[in-house]
Structure 1
């Protein structure tokens, strides 16, 4: 696996070694010992989530407060998404900044997003199936949402799609009034 730190170094782009031939392909989507060795991270994943979305569906920007904060390892098994991670760690030099990566079933890239980040993704293709592992269980009382189009964050969302949101995401908090990490 190839691991690359992004513009916010704690967010990692992971590219698995893919073996392809005329029959198709094979790759290890997650192997704990190699993940730990290549990332130098000592994390344990406790929950796997799977979502299916149609084009223009934006899910996020979500996070959970400590002690139920979640790190995530994300990937796409069908279609293509724009994956976004926003640094909400007040003490971080990249506080309020974001990284964006296109993940797809074709490129097989993964994104590791540590605790202390709000996270969201937008389906770019007709349909996407999105999988992610989390380092803590879903805890509804700890979940928060930041408004996807907050002007302070200035996320460069694609302009050519009609964005579709849940009522929860339509009513996300503005960044300046969000509960954040120390």
Structure 2
């Protein structure tokens, strides 16, 4: 599973001089937790999905997400990077994923963020006022390895200096509603 969002085309100019991997991940986690809290009670965020499509394993879906080069060049070992976080929304009642997808989009819109549906009824991206991008994706057994009643929430940070990586603690395996 790969969820992507990009920085501006001139990554060197867009790198934040004060942002670190730890503060970026904390901010993404804060946005995802607020989104979770806006959903009906009984759901949580998990690193692993509750259900897998036949033939898929958790190990195929759960991989540590290293800081990604902002210019998209995986061979770039010196330029600015961004951090990414991905969780599954677990506990959605069967047949209700479409409504939860809509609820996420409505919540993001209520925050004043620009929400763009990049794939009709499948994927939307929100741009926050401080430069983060959030994504909600409706699971599809053919491309995600998860069933159709699954939602994926993720976030990508603004770009920051490569020297500010390695500062983040491991992600929590589960985030409960508050």
For normalisation by structure 1, the TM-score amounts to 0.28
Q: Greater relative contact order: 1 or 2 (C-alpha under 8 angstroms, separation 6 or more)?
A: 2
Q: Choose between structure 1 and 2: higher strand proportion.
A: 1
Q: Choose between structure 1 and 2: higher helix proportion.
A: 2
